[in-house]
Amino acid sequence: MQNSVKTRFAPSPTGYLHVGGLRTALYSYLYARQNKGIFALRIEDTDQKRYVEGAVESMQNALNFFNLTWDEGPIFQSKRTEIYMKYATQLVEAGHAYPCFCTAERLDEMRKQQEANKQPPKYDRLCLNLSAAEIKARSEAGEAYVIRQRIPQEDLFFNDLVRGEMKFHGKDIDDQVLIKSDGFPTYHLANVVDDHEMEVTHVIRGEEWLPSTPKHVWLYQAFAWTPPAFAHLPLLLNPDRSKLSKRQGDVAAEDYIKKGYLKEAMINFIAFLGWNPGTEEEFFTLEQLVERFSIERVQKAGAVFNLEKLDFLNGHYIRAKSIEDLAALVKPWLEETDWFSKTSFTQENFLRFLASVQMRMKTLTDAAPMLRPFLLDELDYDFNLFYSEKMKVDKTMTVMALENSIPALEALEDYSNEESIKACLVTVIEKLGVKNGQMLWPMRVALSNEQFSPGTFELIQLMGKELTLKRLQDALDKIR
RNA sequence: GGUCCCAUCGUCUAACGGUUAGGACAACAGGUUUUCAUCCUGUAAAUCGGAGUUCGAUUCUCCGUGGGAUCACCA
């Protein structure tokens, strides 16, 4: 009796992978891997109107990017229509479903009426008791019809892995359309049939499915199939606590990739939206999550998708990268710029520059602007940066700092460590009788043309004698 | 409106019915630093309200309140 676990991720191909979908996929993946089970991918493309070209590829790419690899599929529901039809027919014969000839117009009218009377919108079962002869006659006459599920008018209980026992009233629930008039199944039928045929043991999905779960459970009962275990995940929320939507920020997983977030950070961040290990540990790799994840610890309440923590995690994972790995990650962003192709530098220098900038990167996109002053042959100075009231630096002071530092640094031989550079410049500072900042601030700007950058000594060491002197002289010439 | 779900710092969350209600992010204040960042230290910040059960409720029950989801021939 190996009760082997099987989970699945079943998106509909209406666009890109949503971050909420990413979390659902992640939890399903974790649960399957943790139990040495199977993680399957299924594409719910039963609505021809909503199909988006390229969506399937885009979703698979995104899942692969995050290393959420699947063992089975993708299975396409659109290729299985006969199967659903077969099962629907079976339900009709057993009295669990019935054909319905009501037109869209009649249903609209009915709903308007119900709304006017403040009744809940619900199919009135006009076609529930049509005689076999009438059904035959009308369908042969070419009248379009759907197949509806006959919902039992009784209470239903089922267990949810995150919420415990659920109770619904059959009389409140609508007779769901199972087969549309175009012959395609709706989500409800296809979902149940596929989960059964694929032998899915755990259905892990978003909370928005909770209200339709009784329909699914009744379908399992009608077929006399054992239902899978259900786990409904809390929603991801906008800052105003409504369901996460495009209106209020980026919702596509790939948007975050494009913004320079690391997959490690995304996974760690997403995993903690609705789950935590119960300890004070906060950094988890995918492998560690596989080890530690548990549905029992999944939160019931929705979680606001708040990016501040993601920024923090991203910075953490960037700093944890080896400099070679970071260089590879950063390369595409540099190549996108209009200046990168015109620069020349040694790989060794590049790695040194990158290392000095690593500490202050929040996303991979930060690399290009931060590296630019190191890589460019000549800087286009913003003179306002030189002068600082707080530092007590004006034009005269700047010129003085540059004029005096250049000969001193020219005489200096040892650029291999900050100490010798510091010693050299401190001598100059003492000779001039100025404050450290008055000397070092304009030098730092001359070297970097940045408001925020590594320290002056570090910059000089990183750039080496030649580039340092070139920069200082260039700045002096331009400022005078 | 019907049905259902949910409720601890601003945010993510921890707490066998017994804790000074803990941690992280963010914020703020210091230290390190010529700037920024990193790093370190500290401060402020929460149990939605009311009953009940109990010697004792963040925790259990009920009622409110608030928020959310869902009610298609979409998933």
- The pLDDT confidence band at residue A1, using thresholds 50, 70 and 90, is very low
Question: Is pLDDT larger for residue A176 or for residue A466?
Answer: A176
A241 CA – B66 C1', rounded, Å:
12
Q: What is the predicted ipTM?
A: 0.93
Nucleotide nearest to A388 (CA to C1'): B35
Q: Given this model, what pLDDT does residue A414 score?
A: 87
Q: 3-state SS of chain A: helix, strand, coil percent to 5? A: 55, 10, 35
With distances taken from each CA to the C1' atom of nucleotide B33, the closest residue turns out to be A455
A299 CA – B8 C1', rounded, Å:
13
Report the pLDDT averaged over residues A211-218.
Answer: 96
Residue A134 makes CB contacts below 8 A (sequence gap 6+) with: none
A244 CA – B53 C1', rounded, Å:
39
pLDDT-wise least confident of A267-276, A323-332, A404-413:
A404-413
**Rounded Cα distance, A126 and A9, in Å:** 37
Q: How crowded is residue A60: how many other Cβ atoms within 10 Å of its Cβ? A: 16
Q: Given this model, what pLDDT does residue A3 score?
A: 64
Nucleotide nearest to A240 (CA to C1'): B67
How high is the mean pLDDT of chain A? 92
**Rounded Cα distance, A258 and A397, in Å:** 43
Report the pLDDT averaged over residues A92-106.
Answer: 94
The total number of residues shown for chain A amounts to 480
Instruction: Give the tens place of pLDDT for each residue, A262-321.
Output: 999 999 999 999 999 999 999 999 999 999 999 999 999 999 999 999 999 999 999 999
Cα separation values, A395 from A139, A439, A444, A454, A455, Å? 91, 12, 15, 22, 21
- The pLDDT confidence band at residue A437, using thresholds 50, 70 and 90, is confident
- The pLDDT confidence band at residue A388, using thresholds 50, 70 and 90, is confident
Phi, psi angles (nearest 5°) of residue A159: -105, 135
A375 CA – B32 C1', rounded, Å:
29
Is the pLDDT at A448 greater than 60? The verdict is yes
Is the pLDDT at A360 greater than 60? The verdict is yes
Instruction: Give the tens place of pLDDT for each residue, A49-82.
Output: 888 889 999 999 999 999 999 999 899 999 999 9
Annotated active-site residue in A79, A246, A392, A431: A246
Nucleotide nearest to A208 (CA to C1'): B69
Instruction: Give the tens place of pLDDT for each residue, A119-160.
Output: 888 999 999 999 999 999 999 999 999 999 999 999 999 999
**Rounded Cα distance, A397 and A406, in Å:** 14
Which residue, A306, A253, A241, A204, is CA-closest to A64?
A253
Residue A36 bears catalytic tag: no
Residue A84 CA, distance from chain mean position: 33
